[in-house]
Amino acid sequence: MARYADWEKVPMAEGGPDPLWPMPTVTPKFATWSLGGGRPSSCAADKCERWHAGVDLTGAPDKALVVAPEDGTIAALDKGWTEGTRAIFFVTDSGLFLVLGGIIAGSHKEWGRKTGDKVKKGGELGRIVGSYGMLHFETYAATPGRTANSRWWRDDPPPEGLLNPANYIERMVGDSVSLLQTRQRLQALKDLGHYNGDVGAAWGADQAEVLKKAQAALGVTADGKWGPATEDAIQSALKVVEEEEPGQTRPSDAIAPMRIVGGVVAGFVVASLTAAVAVTLRWRRRSREVSP
């Protein structure tokens, strides 16, 4: 599956402090392939026309509520999106231009919302189309010329003003959901037998070296950076371990990383992954054998 190679160079979205998860009635989770210049739109094995500019926040039932992550202004309502859905454009007071796709047309009328309205953090914006099942979320720098999202064509660099939403989403979900957080990354590496230290430690040079070893074992570029291919490979390895060891549970104080949504993503060597998982399973079994 195709990925944009230089996603790590796209600047991070900052935004205001403590942004809210935009679907308060939906458990926070996202499609790992979609985070970071993932699969282009309508991508087939031999045809990828556009890169994925945002992230898909998944698991949303019909009419799931969508709220403002922070204080801001509605820039546009009922903008064209996929067939049967609409998008809301929202400018935060902190300087972000947010794209919220997958909205029921006219659902903003439930609260009398209109373009130009100021909305406080947590204020209702619309509802999700059940057949779409997710909120597509993009972040841009709010500039005077920004009135909509940008199409990111395969042969072009990232659109001007596009921001990586990873840090922003990381602050939304806190420390209990995804592998975006350092604690979850270290817990995942520990579960796979690559890390023996404190999962509450800060990410530093030692942790980067551990990640390089894990990357080498999983068949992805061993650069010490937690990019999309690394995320996919580690999520896949965790899934295999979980399936191979039914009934095994983590300690009650461990934080469970999120599983892949929508299937395993290509981008790593399957044989290497299988070998790495086999080594991991042996390591974990030996660990249990010597544990008191």
Q: Is the pLDDT of residue 96 over 90?
A: yes
Quote the strand ranges of the chain, DSSP E.
55-58, 65-67, 72-80, 86-92, 96-103, 118-119, 124-127, 134-141, 162-163
Q: For tokens 């461990």, what's the residue?
A: 254
Highest mean pLDDT among 233-247, 250-264, 276-290: 233-247
Q: Give CB contacts under 8 A, 24+ apart, made by 117-122.
A: 117/73, 117/74, 118/71, 118/72, 118/73, 119/68, 119/71, 119/72, 119/73, 119/74, 119/90, 120/68, 120/71, 121/19, 121/20, 121/68, 121/69, 121/70, 121/71, 122/20, 122/24, 122/67, 122/68
**pLDDT tens-digit readout, 160-210:** 999 988 878 878 876 555 556 677 788 889 989 999 998 877 788 899 899
The confidence score (pLDDT) of residue 177 equals 52
**pLDDT tens-digit readout, 25-64:** 998 887 767 766 777 655 665 666 888 898 899 999 999 9
Helices (H) and strands (E) in the chain, counts: 5, 9
Q: Which residues pair with 41 in a beta bridge?
A: 50
Q: Is the pLDDT of residue 127 over 70?
A: yes
Q: Helix axis angle, 205-218 relative to 270-290, nearest 10°?
A: 120
Q: Domain ranges in the chain? A: 7-173, 182-290
Query: CA–CA separation, 120 vs 122, rounded Å?
Result: 6
**pLDDT tens-digit readout, 203-255:** 888 998 999 999 999 999 998 888 767 878 888 888 787 665 544 443 333 33
Show the DSSP H helices in the chain as ranges.
166-173, 182-191, 205-218, 228-244, 270-290
The confidence score (pLDDT) of residue 229 equals 78
Q: Which overall architecture, per CATH, does domain 7-173 show?
A: Distorted Sandwich (2.70)
The confidence score (pLDDT) of residue 244 equals 59
